[in-house]
Structure 1
Amino acid sequence: MTITSRLNPAALAVVVLLASCGGDDSSAPSASALAARAAIDAAASDSAAAANPAASGDFMNAGYGGPSHFPNQLVTLGLPGPTPALRVSSRGVPPYAPPAPPVATDTQTLTLADFDTYGPAWTSGGANTIRIDGTSTDGAKLVTNAQHPAYGHASYEADVTIGAPAPGANTANAGFIVHVTNPTVGTDALTGYYIGLDAVRHVVQVGREQNNWTDFVDYPAPAIVPGSTHHLKVVTRNNAIDVYVDGTQVISINDATSGLTTALRAGAFGLRRFGASVAFSNVTVSRYPDVAPATYDFSRVVGAVYNPWNAVNAIDFWQNYDPAIVDRELDYAQTYGMNTITVYLHYLNWVNDRDAFLAKFDSLLEIAARHGLKVAPIFYDDCWHVDPAYGPQPAPIFGVHNSRWVQSPGQSVEQQYLQPVAAGASTTYKQDLQHYIADFVSAHRNDPRILYWEPMNEPGCSGNGALQPTRALMMNDARIAILNAGATQPINSPNVQEAEGDYFSDFHAFHPYALNATTPDYSLPPSLLDSLNSETLQRGWPGGQAGQTMAGIASTYGGKTGFLVWELMIGRTNTRFHWGQTASAPATVEPATPFQGTLYPDGHPWSTAEVQALASAFSSRLRVLNATYYNDTTFTTPVFSSITPLVDFDLNTERGTDSPDASKGMNATNYAIRWTGALDIPKGDDYTFSVTSDNVARVWIDGRKVIDKEQPGLATAKGRIHLAQKRNVPIRVEYVHANGPASMHLQWSSPSAGRDNLVRVAQRPLTDALAQQ
């Protein structure tokens, strides 16, 4: 992916992007941008890479950093090698050294003669001072006259002295207006942006004017009081605005509102005041070489929010991180045509286990890359329970949507955002959260595996309007922390419940989840370019929300804005239950149609039609086995058939996730599964096949029984067979589960095993696989 222009104000060059720890969760067994456009290519599966080798360079070759050869080492059948080991170490990442600032092409000190007046008269207070007396009339402004061409990439500076509110006025506010067009007399009578110092509310204020006012952020600044003087500096590039007060950056804006007029990218400069007497001294403007706005084309993004099936929330995910489960589930994502995942980080994991958390994130990136997946990390989340706690997470509540999902960093931290983290501490929560963000970004500032950084998911989802200004501060400060860490990837927070996400983002992200809709929400933003559907998919419920379908999502957003579904797995987050199923009104039975989620823990999709909608956009060939599920132990009563990429899963004993597929009526005990398909044998050799299961398991290769495990109990059985180099060698696997936690894992090894010598599940047309269900 290539983007033109740097998001960091100091960097203007073209940048090229893209191309088991211990735990306490006893409920589940541990498995131990092209020229001037940013184009995201979606060659996620092997077959898509083969069909589009140019695309595969970005997605498939970032990958596996493990050993090239692994003789006689067990490999899960279907994976590209052993799961990379998790390596935990304390590491020091050198601080980012920003490039030298650009050289100004022109610098001018402006006087009153350089401006046209709109409203009450201004006067010269000396050679380098422009002043105006206080009145109760709002919005007096000066705008540079016609002898000054429009300013685009520029900096503006002045020493601003603000008096007390004039009689009858209730404010004392003054500052700059930038990128001004169409100014007339009147309070908000212009198009442009305003950056003001408010001496009554003691804030630095930024917002947009289009003959009305849209407030972006009010940044606390206790030193701004009537009678005080402050050095205000503003830097603009297209829709980006950086604000410095007395030498310190306090605000970083990028207005990514979809469909925004291009007139806001450049324009005149001006001074403005409300209520008080004001003096602007040493008003200086510098021009810099213009930078073309970065543009982003996410049309080929296909992916999902990723939280492992056995984790109830992000804290649980990272605290009990298991690379084998991650490797397995990201293989599912790749097989079914995905190229991107979003993952939720959590502040409390960083506070309590920093080094391990950073190492686990590195592990996830390594595993994702070997499956052709880009990663979009999310730092904060404003959704669901307000009181996260580190440590063992409680079990999910049956029938309750997102029953244990928690906000990050949590309501109490947000309420104390500018306060010390502890009594007597010199560090505030704001500073600590910036360190948290910088820890991840600094280590991956140029990492092509990162698609974008997301400061906050769905600001406003909590419904706590009192914290809306704080959420704007947090997104602002997160943006500054990400840029100061040297990130070359774009930054985004979605515009869903509150619009503020757009004001601190490099592109527009949206979640089409219209509430109480009578028809499915497939809405599109005003501009498809620079837009991403970063979360979607809810299948509705009777008498409530009108449901979306995967086919509807793929046809509406695929090839336009791209899309990421909630969520990859169906598991302990309980999002298979709908939004209306809360603790006070839980579901009493398993839903026949999961509200959200795509795949079950063993890798079979809830609906093969959904897989067809996902995969056929890029390829019609998949590496999958056919799977038939029986509600008996003798393979006589089939319940349904599906497909899976692997024979590799564990299930717990919790209601709903104790069955391979409760939505289809599968038992949690006394069931059987049979897999059939074919293997590609890359080289003649002696191959060892291994099954680890809790009960009966059998394996046939090329018509010969290789494993016959008839004894109950969790154990491993192996068998050896000599196979010649051959494609489409038949395989059949049978598994019988009695009771307790289910476990079934099929692996292989050979003396010549390696990345160029992999036993693989044979690739075949998707239509053939579905026809054999």
Structure 2
Amino acid sequence: MYKTNFLIFAYLIIVLFASCGQKKKDTLSQSKMSSELTISAKWSEDKANMWWKSKPWLRGANFNPSTAINQLEFWQEDSFDPETIDRELGWAENIGLNCMRVYLHHVAWEVDNSGFKKRISTYLEIANKHNIMTIFVFFDDCWNANYKAGKQPDPKPGIHNSGWVRDPGDLLFTSDNLMPILETYVKDILETFKNDERIILWDLYNEPGNSGYKNKSLPLLKNVFSWARSVSPEQPLTSGIWDKSLIDLNKFQIENSDIITYHNYSDEILHQRAIDSLKIYNRPMICTEYMARKHNSLFSNIMPILKKQNIGAINWGLVAGKSNTKYAWDEPIPDGSDPELWFHDIFHKDGTPYKQGEVNVIKELCLIQAK
């Protein structure tokens, strides 16, 4: 996802949370949220770390099938594509990946909630067949603000994520009755899948505050944690920090996440600083977005660091397709020709690797871990 500021420095957490002390309590104070609900205690450090010890090292990708331009084309009945999902997750399995981060969208549920849940089940069956666990993402503040059900637009040639849509986007600020719909949506999905072992984590809100929203996203962030805690799924809850300037959002995310997640698209030196700044919380960590070749965030220099420190490694992009994430955020190629250096993604649409050397690195790290 596009970052206005994707470097998280070591002083970030110290500056933001010095008043809270280096050692966080295992339970949260009973503070009132904007929804008039009270968020119950998050997982203790012991519970989170025991849960983590029972899991293999997580390594995978943010997954959108190459035939889908966005979340709606992924999940709507007319465009849901289990054959492509099966084929592409098979390629992921073959190189040793075991986890995918997958975005949902409330409109796909609103139009057809029972069909949407059936398609989620179908996806989970396919992923499980390939020994792949899933992180589901509910809300997202990135890219296009407006959307509608039905046929989605064609990709704009050479433009990164030209058709990706936010959820709920600007509609949250222009509709008087959207929040109750979102609450019903979140609770319905969580109630349906709260005991599903194929789901390893719920990522409640991707990059809250992006697209200039800043603290306008805080009420929904607080609400989605409240809704999720009221369901009390067996899986842990999180929302990943991504921008050091969003002080209030970062504070809330850290204080309410069972598992610490973060995004970092910088080189190994700055990435390690980000890791060091988060270790003080003594909780499992997953990098849920990394790998941007232009910024020297590579499989060769980042994935070994994450493996050595038992931090989950989820890069952006598996197969180059309609989302156009092989193009850089800020370097469109209007004629749609292939970029000299791919920004994200591992495979061409036919399953051949973009760089065989990268795949060799991934396979070696995964095979060593599996022994």
Q: For the superposition of Structure 1 and Structure 2, which TM-score range results when normalised by the shorter chain? A: 0.7 to 0.9
Match of 1:564 among 308, 314, 317: 314
CA change 1:613–1:359 in 2 (3 A) is same
**1:520 deviation in Å?**
7.4
2:260 and 2:334 map into 1 onto residues whose CA distance is 35
Are 2:103 and 1:294 equivalent residues in the alignment?
no
Partner of 2:125: 366
Is this contact kept in 1: 2:268–2:301, CA < 8 A? no
**1:513 deviation in Å?**
2.2
2:152 and 2:187 map into 1 onto residues whose CA distance is 27
More helix by share: 2
Deviations 1:93-129 (A, max 9, x none): xxxxxxxxxxxxxxxxxxxxxxxxxxxxxxxxxxxxx
CA change 1:397–1:518 in 2 (3 A) is farther
Is this contact kept in 2: 1:305–1:566, CA < 8 A? yes
CA change 1:519–1:238 in 2 (3 A) is closer
More strand by share: 1
Is this contact kept in 1: 2:240–2:262, CA < 8 A? yes
Match of 1:252 among 39, 42, 45: 39
Match of 2:181 among 410, 432, 435: 432
Is this contact kept in 2: 1:254–1:503, CA < 8 A? no
Match of 1:494 among 223, 240, 251: 240
Are 2:264 and 1:477 equivalent residues in the alignment?
no
Partner of 1:536: 290
1:474 and 1:255 map into 2 onto residues whose CA distance is 18
Deviations 1:592-627 (A, max 9, x none): 22110111222221111111111112328xxxxxxx
**1:518 deviation in Å?**
12
1:244 and 1:524 map into 2 onto residues whose CA distance is 30
SS in 2 for 1:315: helix
The residue type paired with residue 60 of structure 2 is G
2:41 and 2:329 map into 1 onto residues whose CA distance is 33
Is this contact kept in 1: 2:268–2:302, CA < 8 A? no
Q: Bigger shift: 608-617 or 585-594? A: 585-594
CA change 1:597–1:307 in 2 (3 A) is same
CA change 1:241–1:370 in 2 (3 A) is farther
Partner of 1:464: 213
Is this contact kept in 2: 1:581–1:587, CA < 8 A? no
SS in 1 for 2:60: strand
The residue type paired with residue 536 of structure 1 is Y
1:211 and 1:522 map into 2 onto residues whose CA distance is 23
Partner of 1:332: 91
1:557 and 1:587 map into 2 onto residues whose CA distance is 37
Q: Superposition RMSD on alpha carbons, in Å? A: 2.9
1:305 and 1:518 map into 2 onto residues whose CA distance is 20
CA change 1:518–1:608 in 2 (3 A) is closer
Higher relative contact order (CA 8 A, sep 6+): 2
Partner of 2:4: none
Match of 2:257 among 465, 488, 505: 505
Match of 1:355 among 110, 114, 122: 114
Q: TM-score scaled by structure 1?
A: 0.41
Partner of 1:314: 71
The residue type paired with residue 570 of structure 1 is A
Match of 1:240 among 13, 28, 31: 28
CA change 1:519–1:617 in 2 (3 A) is closer
Partner of 2:337: 589
Is this contact kept in 1: 2:89–2:127, CA < 8 A? yes
Q: TM-score scaled by structure 2?
A: 0.82
Is this contact kept in 1: 2:191–2:231, CA < 8 A? yes
Is this contact kept in 1: 2:201–2:238, CA < 8 A? yes
Partner of 2:325: 575
1:598 and 1:484 map into 2 onto residues whose CA distance is 38
Are 2:54 and 1:305 equivalent residues in the alignment?
no
CA change 1:376–1:570 in 2 (3 A) is same
CA change 1:555–1:431 in 2 (3 A) is same
2:138 and 2:108 map into 1 onto residues whose CA distance is 11
Match of 1:408 among 167, 172, 176: 167
The residue type paired with residue 356 of structure 2 is T
Is this contact kept in 1: 2:304–2:365, CA < 8 A? no
Is this contact kept in 2: 1:251–1:477, CA < 8 A? no
CA change 1:249–1:464 in 2 (3 A) is closer
Are 2:359 and 1:607 equivalent residues in the alignment?
no
Is this contact kept in 2: 1:494–1:501, CA < 8 A? yes
SS in 2 for 1:565: strand
2:362 and 2:228 map into 1 onto residues whose CA distance is 33
**1:586 deviation in Å?**
3.9
Partner of 1:443: 192
**1:451 deviation in Å?**
0.6
CA change 1:571–1:619 in 2 (3 A) is same
CA change 1:211–1:252 in 2 (3 A) is closer
1:237 and 1:554 map into 2 onto residues whose CA distance is 31
Deviations 1:253-289 (A, max 9, x none): 7689xxxxxxxx9xxxxxxxxxxxxxxxxxxxxxxxx
CA change 1:519–1:579 in 2 (3 A) is farther
The correspondence of residues 574-723 of structure 1 with structure 2, limited to 5 A, is 574-582=324-332, 586=334, 589-619=337-367
Aligned length: 334
Bigger-Rg structure (1/2): 1
Deviations 1:541-563 (A, max 9, x none): xxxxx322211122121232121
CA change 1:209–1:252 in 2 (3 A) is farther
**1:405 deviation in Å?**
0.8
The residue type paired with residue 513 of structure 1 is Y
Partner of 2:12: none
The gaps in structure 2 that reach 5 residues or longer are 1-15
CA change 1:293–1:336 in 2 (3 A) is closer
Is this contact kept in 1: 2:95–2:359, CA < 8 A? yes
1:464 and 1:475 map into 2 onto residues whose CA distance is 12
**1:512 deviation in Å?**
0.9
Are 2:95 and 1:343 equivalent residues in the alignment?
no
SS in 2 for 1:599: coil
SS in 2 for 1:369: helix
1:376 and 1:255 map into 2 onto residues whose CA distance is 18
**1:376 deviation in Å?**
0.6
2:210 and 2:265 map into 1 onto residues whose CA distance is 12
